[in-house]
A and B are shown apart, each in its own frame.
Chain A
Amino acid sequence: EADIYQTPRYLVIGTGKKITLECSQTMGHDKMYWYQQDPGMELHLIHYSYGVNSTEKGDLSSESTVSRIRTEHFPLTLESARPSHTSQYLCASNPTDGGTDTQYFGPGTRLTVL
């Protein structure tokens, strides 16, 4: 059973607002990830981290930023939300051996920007 949590589950917000999507895991995993998921289902990696104070941009360019101050916590921030940011955001984690270990996903945050 995966112990990875995302809050809020749903968020409707106006253009220009600053938002932070929370992601926490209690498994002690070093590696954490943020994905943006199309309405058409495709997953796009936007950020990842391989440990505290380590963050990298993913394949899809994103205006969001992330931080990794604690192992268990990997928040994603949008400084000024726009309608184009409307999407489902999924957080995931796995142990150090990223190539072969199972990646555990949170339930997702569905963001709507009006």
Chain B
Amino acid sequence: GDSVTQMEGPVTLSEEAFLTINCTYTATGYPSLFWYVQYPGEGLQLLLKATKADDKGSNKGFEATYRKETTSFHLEKGSVQVSDSAVYFCALGSGNTPLVFGKGTRLSVIA
């Protein structure tokens, strides 16, 4: 079945550092890909998404490109802030089935 693998955390960075969180997927069809973020004490919220190959999703300085050839959707940000500290989830959606989530990566940004 469909699956998502994302890098394990925790990831600890200094403010203004470059961030990459790796995400790869396995899917039989042509899924849509998502990054969700969960801030402490809250539910998940959509950060960005891409619905077809080579699409780039972007929001709040975060970017991810749907790479069909490497089955990847890595999350990047050029300069992280303390306020970006959260848990990040990669997910895929295909057809009429529930989203498949990765296990989450905790990011801590220190001043």
Contacts and interface: CB of A to CB of B under 8 A. Distances in A.
Contacts of A105: 36, 43-45
A99 B97 contact: yes
Contacts of B77: none
B43 A108 contact: yes
Interface residues on A, range: 20 to 34
Interface residues of B, number: 26
Given A33-B98, A43-B104, A48-B98, A100 B93 contact: yes
Interface in B51-87: 51, 87
Interface of B: 31-32, 34, 36, 38, 41-46, 49, 51, 87, 89, 93-99, 101, 103-104, 106
Interface of A: 2, 6, 33, 40-43, 45, 48, 50, 58, 90, 92, 98-108
